[in-house]
Structure 1
Amino acid sequence: MDARIVLNIKGQNVTFAPTPEIYNDYINAMQANNKVAPSHNFVMRCAVADDKDRVRELLALPGASVQIAGAIVEQYAPDLNIMVGEFSA
């Protein structure tokens, strides 16, 4: 599932192109005590070439990598509506 996601960040449109490989690498790198570095790498890998300089500037802001990564994932990963329990077919 390749996608183009446009986020408006601080009044600027920024385009990201996550892929299953980039997404899976991000999820695999996340650890309880290590969220900033994987988020930074994920955001930079998803940013389209024309927007990479703009993204680098944004990532210099405190907390930006985690917020931007969260917004990309929210748009990219499907909501499967999973429920736990016994259900009749």
Structure 2
Amino acid sequence: MSKITLTVNGTELTFEPNTVAYNKFINEMAMDNKMAPANNYLRRIVSADCKEALDTLLDIPGSALQIVSFVNDQFAPKLDIELKN
């Protein structure tokens, strides 16, 4: 299992993303529903001792999407894909 530790506004958070939680997050997202899946995903993968700190940070508007973006960039990095004719 992968562990990702971030410092967000001076608060250290550790996340433990996994393929099941990541896939569930992607499947829950819709064009008109991004905040709830992002909040749920982060709460699923945050380590137990960081839950309270995460909840405080999630009260900041837009924080969930910023944190999710950073975590997922580390967990599921972009592939280098080229088109061959």
With normalisation by structure 1, the TM-score equals 0.90
Q: Does 1:49 align with 2:48?
A: yes
Write out aligned runs for 1:3-82 (5 A).
3-82=2-81
| SS at 1:33 equivalent | coil
Q: Which amino acid aligns with 1:30?
A: M
Q: Which runs of 4+ in 1 moved over 3 A?
A: none
Which structure has the bigger radius of gyration? 1
For residues 37 and 84 of structure 2, the distance between their equivalents in structure 1, rounded to whole angstroms, comes to 33
Report deviation, 1:82. 1.3
Unaligned runs of 5+ in 2: none
- State the aligned residue count: 85
RMSD between aligned residues: 0.9
Structure 1 unmatched ranges of 5 or more: none
- Kindly provide the CA deviation profile for residues 31-63 of structure 1, in whole angstroms up to 9, marking residues without a partner as x: 111100000001111100000000000001101
Give me the identity figure in percent.
36
Give TM-score, length-normalised by structure 2.
0.94
